[in-house]
Amino acid sequence: MFPTALPTRKRRRPEAAFARGREEVKFRDVTLFLVERRMGKSRRNFLSNLARSKGFCVDDALSADVTHVVSEGNVAQELWSWLEEQGFRETCDKHVLHISWFTESMSAGRPVPVEIRHYIQYLCNQVDDITGNEVSPTKQARSDSGKEPKLHLCFRLLIIIVEPLYTIINNN
């Protein structure tokens, strides 16, 4: 009998409407790319805007300008496969990092130095191809959760490099 008002729908704000370009870029040598996989679009937008407000340059696409790829909750093997599909090539000036580096950088208000614990590494196959060891499925599927340090991989690489040098030095 009585006319009822139709419920109004909330309008989604366009993603481009966020404060892009208004923030001053303080750290021109660092360009971030936040991997949306497993993070979600709204969290990625929030973190991107936070980084921009702190003076970081954030690229919405994985381009050649990106120096720091930040990921959260992705299995290292899957992440590296996805990055390769996108045409990402690892070089010495590009870092693939766990979200912990991003969090520490936001807290500090500047890019913190990258440490081994920040890297998302997928070296098992490369190391074991060199040493001839079998790779266990659990070792291959190790995630970037940060719960298990990946230092053993670095030490194994160090041994592969240093051991022959040590032998040469001792024989002379």
The 10s digit of each residue's pLDDT in 111-134 is: 999 999 999 887 544 444 444 544
**Within a domain: 30:** yes
pLDDT-derived band at 4 (thresholds 50, 70, 90) equals confident
**Within a domain: 7:** no
Contact partners, residue 157, CB within 8 Å, separation at least 6: 123, 127
Q: Which residues, in sequence order, are bridge partners of residue 71?
A: 98
**Within a domain: 13:** no
Percent of the chain whose pLDDT exceeds 90:
38
**Within a domain: 100:** yes
- Are 81 and 102 in contact by the 8 Å Cβ rule? The answer is no
When divided into structural domains, the chain yields a total of: 1
**Within a domain: 53:** yes
CA of residue 160 relative to chain centroid, distance? 26
Here the tokens at position 84 are: 């390769």
**Within a domain: 15:** no
Handedness of CA 104, 108, 109, 111 (dihedral sign): negative
**Within a domain: 112:** yes
| pLDDT tens-digit map of 8-31 | 776 665 554 444 556 789 999 999
pLDDT for the residue numbered 21: 52
**Within a domain: 58:** yes
Helix (H, G, I), strand (E, B), or coil: what is residue 34? strand
Is 0.75 surpassed by the pTM of this model?
Answer: no
CATH number of the domain where residue 49 is located: 3.40.50.10190
| pLDDT tens-digit map of 74-122 | 888 899 989 989 888 777 778 999 999 999 999 999 999 999 999 988 7
DSSP 56-118: EEE-SS--TT--EEEESS-BHHHHHHHHHHTT----TT-EEEEHHHHHHHHHHTSPPPP-GGG
Full residue range of the structural domain in which residue 37 is found: 22-171
Length of the chain measured in residues: 172
